[in-house]
A and B are shown apart, each in its own frame.
Chain A
Amino acid sequence: MSLPAAAAADYALHAHGLGKQYGRLVAVDGISFSVRAGEIVGLLGPNGAGKTTTINMVLGVLQPSAGQILIEGVDLARQRSRALAHTNFAAVYAALPGNLTVYQNLRFFSLLYDVADGVARIEQLLTEFDLQRLRGTRSGALSSGEQTRLALSKALLNRPRLLLLDEPTASLDPSAADTIRTRIRTLASGGACGILWTSHNMYEVEAICDRVLFLSHGRILLEGDPRALPAAHGAASLEELFIRLAREPLVQPPAGARASG
């Protein structure tokens, strides 16, 4: 059942009965989940679980076969442009054009997102992400860490209410990754936006996510606090639980943890 409009507006993201099917192949199988403002939700699962398909549907670049996506209470299918104005993302597979400089990329995307104070916002983000000295450097010539900082700067250009981060720290050294995690945590704790975060780094997920969703074969197998879930399922760590779920999906979750499908 879809949420009433007033209730849906309390969520940065609310997905209901979301599904994607390619012929007979079911990539995402009617999942429902929400991300509240100020909350960081981890989307976990093995390769092929449906994480990227889910993210692509939320980004509006893939049309769901079923279900509804509300971003800040706005129906993505009906008011695509308005819904996406509240959203932004950074993903390892969507590098920014390498033939534009750091500044040019940010200017290009600030205009695409129709940011009114684009120039001032860019200067603020260049400073915040330590990119001022690289502003004239082509993005393709940046190191992985610098590209990640640029991608995050671009992701924050329009002050999104919903931020989708697909392995944002995958190519960073531990120190740089920690800095980025702290920034993201600060951003979320200010209540400015809800964040949907995918990562294969379980230590990171435990450290930063308020809640996680385990996806396997397009279904949500498990949902809960990443610090409490391992003990609740008799696993020594989140990583061990992940491996177990990836190899053998849970049939009957113990009491105390919510499971959905």
Chain B
Amino acid sequence: MKLRPIAAIALRQFYLMRSSPTRVLPMIAWVAVDIVLWGFISRYLNTVASTGVNFVASLLGAVLFWDFFTRVMQGVTMAFFEDVWSRNFINVFATPLLISEYLVGLICTGIVTSLIGLIVMLTLATWLFGLPFFSMGLLLLPFLLALFLFGIGLGVLASAMVLRLGPASEWLVWPIPAMLSPFVGVFYPLSTLPAWMRGIGHALPPSYVFENMRSVVAGHGYSASGLLLGIGLALFDILLASLLFTRVYRYAVRSGLLARYSAESMT
């Protein structure tokens, strides 16, 4: 793999963000609204409920983690969609660019865009609602890592889906996080779910993050093996998604799908 082609994919996204505030604003605005909304809901629940549960830590923490995961996934898919929207596939894939370089470029873009959202969320949650995230110190890293890796895997998977099904399938991508959320126990323990949903939840890395987050908030510590399993699953998902993307790309080259993305009107 060469550095310049990878840098090209990330640089393109930087150029677009720099030239258009409307691209940067959603990265900040949605997460800020979520944190403020859920921050006040959590604070209100703390005042009316006498369960001893710290809703700010458990609910707002869950929202922050979930939004972070969603931003990572969207960071990867948005970079891919730039090529879909600008009908740029022929220009990009007629270069010496390797698929692995393209995917790493998408991932680098996802890292940067999700970090912007994460910084905004952590700042607001800590400053406005006293969320004790920073007190977790380095422990925060495996939680974020598992979500980050799964977000990348899902972003690559969603990109493969759009490459295979065409630009119109873009609308299928946006609800994916919402469709997964009931299974991974963002706001409730997995034990709440029926057995079949729990089974699906155990196969999804975010479940291990949210189960452990609730355990930490309740003062029971965390399961290192559980978090490691979550990270391992997320890495496996990235591998599977990358293989699927490569397979779909090869199909698109073989069938003419890739060329048709740009040249439908040509002879």
Contact = CB atoms under 8 A, between A and B. Distances in A.
Given A61-B89, A114-B2, A108 B266 contact: no
A59 B94 contact: yes
B95 A84 contact: yes
Nearest to A50: B267
Interface residues of A, number: 42
B94 A60 contact: yes
Contacts of A93: 90, 262-263, 265-266
Interface in A104-163: 104, 107-109, 111-115, 118
A58 to B, nearest CB: 9
Given A61-B253, A63-B254, A112 B265 contact: no
B104 to A, nearest CB: 13
A94 B16 CA distance: 19
A109 B91 contact: yes
A55 B253 CA distance: 13
A85 B2 CA distance: 13
B193 interface: no
A46 B265 CA distance: 14
Interface stretch (A34-42, A95-103, A171-179): A95-103
A261 interface: no
B98 interface: yes
A197 B96 CA distance: 21
A52 interface: yes
Contacts of B89: 61
A99 to B, nearest CB: 6
Interface residues of B, number: 37
Contacts, number: 108
Contacts of A49: 267
A109 B258 CA distance: 19
Given A94-B263, A99-B86, A111-B11, A62 B258 contact: yes
B94 A61 contact: yes
A62 B7 contact: no
Contact of A114 (B4, B16, B94, B255): B4
A123 B5 CA distance: 20
Contacts of B259: 52, 56, 61-62
Contacts of B4: 111-112, 114-115, 118
Given A109-B91, A112-B95, A114-B96, A62 B253 contact: yes
B267 A112 contact: no
Interface in B13-64: 15-16, 19-20
Contacts of B247: none
B19 to A, nearest CB: 8
Contact of A112 (B97, B256, B266): B97
B92 interface: yes
Interface string A70-95: 00000000001110110101010111
Contacts of A115: 4
B93 interface: yes
B267 A82 contact: no
Contacts of B239: none
Interface of A: 20, 22, 46-49, 51-53, 56, 59-63, 80-82, 84-85, 87, 89, 91, 93-101, 104, 107-109, 111-115, 118
Shortest 7 CB-CB contacts between residues of A and residues of B: A111-B8, A97-B86, A59-B94, A47-B267, A81-B96, A112-B95, A85-B96
